Amino acid sequence: MSLLILVIASNRFVGFLADAAEGNLPADMVFLMLAYKMMATLPKILPISILIAMLLAFSRMASDRELVILAASGISKLFQMGVVLRFALAFCLFGSIVTLYLAPWAEQEVHNLKERAKQESDISGVKAGQFKEFSQGDRVVYVQNPSPDKASMEEVFLQVRQEGKLGVLTSDSARFRLDKKSGNKYIVFSDGRRYVGEPGLLDYQITEYEKYAILTESSETNAPGAKSAALSTAEILGSGDRIYQAEFQWRISLIISSLLLSLLAILLMQSHASERRYMPFVIGISIYLIYSNLLGIAKTLLNRDVIPGFIGLWWVHLLLVLTLVSLYYLPKYRYARNDNDKHQIIEAD
């Protein structure tokens, strides 16, 4: 589990450093954002962690012939599953606290940091004597002197391209402003001039102003599903919205999957103990990938109201339960078939 966290944290850290280098994320927020993001990602790591841990433990027992000794001592597979189940339940208790409470809180903190970064990264990303693009190059800002407190800019130049026309604004001072309701970003200019016209022509319009606001970035309206991950479990549980239902079932599924995958590990080792050592790992990871992708597909279908809520993500768990039942009875079927073949050979002789 620690190795998985290290790999994911390294990947996230590189991404946050890139955002900080581009001016989209203040440098003092990098480690704080990384900590909250890892808390929010932790529920997705728990199921695969317990699967790998169980496979490693029982693989070592199989290689040391301890599973054979346990079977010869009369310790049944069902008893071993009971021991694993008790450990898995304790693990699921920890996972439920993380999934239902800690992760949504961390996701909300990530959202708050992003909103704070939107307000701070604009000024921190604009450097004296350098051009900075907004809106995919349609708006270009040049600042001669950012203020020492990074709250405003002095001697500002802005070029705007819109509907084939070129607009240029010059101002003694300007500051960024974020509209909290719409999420749109503006630059508010003070005491300047505005030039508007088509490149190559001389019919430019010149306007003097005291205050002038230009939209630099329009915030797309977030889908409800994008906000649901940051809501508390109590909020989504009390809502009848299908997107919130999908989010609640997704959180519960991360807990259920930890329980089912732990049982999958022991059944794979029991069914393939006599085969190659790494075969259970290959089969287990393959089943996990299929299971995880099916959960994602089921969540999307529930979000789009393609399937009813009572079906939701539960059918995916049912498929895994049927797989566990098949793996439980597979060795018995093999033994019964081999015993039957022996009897037929003896009768033929």
pLDDT in tens, 310-327: 888 999 999 999 999 988
Give percent of the chain above pLDDT 90: 13
* DSSP notation for 247-258: HHHHHHHHHHHH
Selection from 43, 20, 46 nearest residue 33 by Cα: 20
Which residues 6+ apart lie within 8 Å of 52 measured at CB? none
**What mean pLDDT is reported for the chain?**
78
Instruction: Decide: 35 and 109 in contact? Cβ < 8 Å.
Output: no
pLDDT-based confidence at residue 15 (cuts at 50, 70, 90): confident
Selection from 111, 100, 103 nearest residue 227 by Cα: 111
* DSSP notation for 136-165: GGTEEEEEEEE-TTSS-EEEEEEEEEETTE
Query: Does the pTM exceed 0.75?
Result: no
Judged against a pLDDT cut of 90, whether residue 294 lies above it is answered with yes
Q: What is the pLDDT of residue 12?
A: 81
Weakest mean pLDDT among 110-114, 122-126, 242-246: 122-126
Domain ranges of the chain: 126-217
Return the number of other C-beta atoms located less than 10 Å from residue 332's C-beta: 10
In the chain, % helix, strand, coil (3-state, to 5) comes to 60, 20, 20
Selection from 332, 222, 265 nearest residue 80 by Cα: 265
pLDDT-based confidence at residue 286 (cuts at 50, 70, 90): very high
Q: What is the pLDDT of residue 129?
A: 67
Q: What is the pLDDT of residue 288?
A: 93
